[in-house]
Amino acid sequence: MFFKENLKMALDSIFANKMRSFLTMLGIIIGIASVIAILAVGNGAASEITGTFSDLGATTIQLSASDSDQSGEALSNEDLSVLKESIEDIRYISPNEQTQGTLSSDDESRQAVISYGTPDLQYVSQTMSSDLVDGRYFNQNDYDESADVVVIDEDAAEALFGRKNVVGETLRVTAAQVPLNLRIVGIVEGRFGDMQGAFDTSELPLFIAMPNSTIGNAIPQFAGISSAIIEVGATEQIEPVSNQIVRLLELRNNAVGENTYNATNFLQALDQVDNVLGLFINFIAAVAGIALLVGGIGVMNIMLVSVTERTREIGTRKALGATTNTILTQFLMESIILSLIGGLIGLTLGILLSNLIAGFLDIVPNITLGSVVLVLVFSTAVGVFFGIYPARKAAKLDPIEALRYE
């Protein structure tokens, strides 16, 4: 009974001064809306980023090796062959080696990134597409014979020859000041075609791929292998395959306990990126949440004004038998309702704002039930915390002094 009466009196007091009540809630509304929008857009952007990168490397293992005793190669082509033959879950494996060089045709010369590896490089390369548009990729026969062949992308074909149908043409590749005349056997999709017109693509490097046996024979300093990319069939195979790779290489090369080989996967790095993004988003949300404290101070200020304005009312109620707890509950409930209404309005505004921003950024906002509940609980807590002092002040008023108040 007393609860319903206090609730009705609190609502009557709030709606009797609509503008003042709205201005009181404004800080809470802005704070809640800011926090919700930042969390929703930030988490949505983080999910988009991590999801994209996860798709790119969800089944990829990066194998690296260091020659700790300087006695020879840490990794060899034979090592990679044994790994592929011994571990059935490995789909593709290739050295992950690159160098800078110059590409020259009869009419043009450009800087390039030269990738070299086994024929599996077609499927694990992180710089070139695996989709052929003309010709073929270099094959096992090319690799075994160290054939003078090369695969280029469409951007390189256009930049060097002015056309894409260049299979069979000769391309001069210079690396470490050593020139190589290579026959183009295949063209893959380019990466910069969509950028034409956006900026000068002539400043971007071109990309080519060739057998590592070919470049290793011509330039001995490029014959060694320091790392490889391995692709497995499914994400859940990454950890067991990584462990098998390291164990097999250590046993094969008498390197047990020397930490010569390291098999890492992109998902491990992705977890770290996700954690950093989460910390950053939460920090920004916490900064935006300062507005909630400002809003809480506003609630306390208005409640103190309300107590002063209603001093005679409080004296009359106490003279008629209202207890200290009744007065305390009345004003505390009024404070909580102000904060809760402000929280609901801020929540609605935050959801609308997050959808607007997310639509502009072309991402999906991530609004979780946990964040919604947290916001409502926090806004209620603000009302309780900042409403206690005014409510206690009202409850402790002496009825005789209150009735004399002008």
Q: How many Å apart are CA 388 and CA 103, to the nearest integer?
A: 76
CA distance 222 to 137: 21
Closest CA to 136 of 184, 206, 79, 198: 184
Alpha carbons 124 and 332: distance in angstroms, whole number: 64
pLDDT tens-digit series, residues 264-305: 876 666 667 667 777 777 777 677 667 667 777 777 777 777
3-state SS, residue 332:
helix
The pLDDT mean for the chain works out to 80
Q: How far is the C-alpha of 396 from the C-alpha of 331, rounded, in Å?
A: 12
Q: How far apart are the first and last CA of the chain?
A: 31
At residue 354, the pLDDT reads 87
Secondary structure, 3-state, 15-60? HHCHHHHHHHHHHHHHHHHHHHHHHHHHHHHHHHHHHHHHHHHCCE
Q: Would the CA dihedral through 346, 352, 357, 361 be positive or negative? A: positive
d(CA 151, CA 94): 16
The model's pLDDT over 322-367, given as tens digits with 9 standing for 90+, comes to 677 777 777 778 778 888 888 888 888 888 988 888 888 788 888 7
CA–CA separation, 390 vs 383, rounded Å? 11
Residue 374 main-chain phi, psi, to 5 deg: -60, -40
The residues, any chain, with a CB within 8 Å of residue 207's CB and separated by 6 or more, are 112, 113, 115, 127, 128, 152, 153, 155, 156, 191
Q: What is the pLDDT of residue 134?
A: 92
Q: Are 195 and 201 in contact (CB under 8 A)?
A: yes
Confidence check: pLDDT of 104 > 70: yes
**Given this model, what pLDDT does residue 71 score?**
44
pTM above 0.85, yes or no: no
Angle between helices 324-361 and 369-395 (to 10 degrees): 150
Q: What is the dihedral of CA 63, 69, 70, 75, to 10 degrees?
A: -30
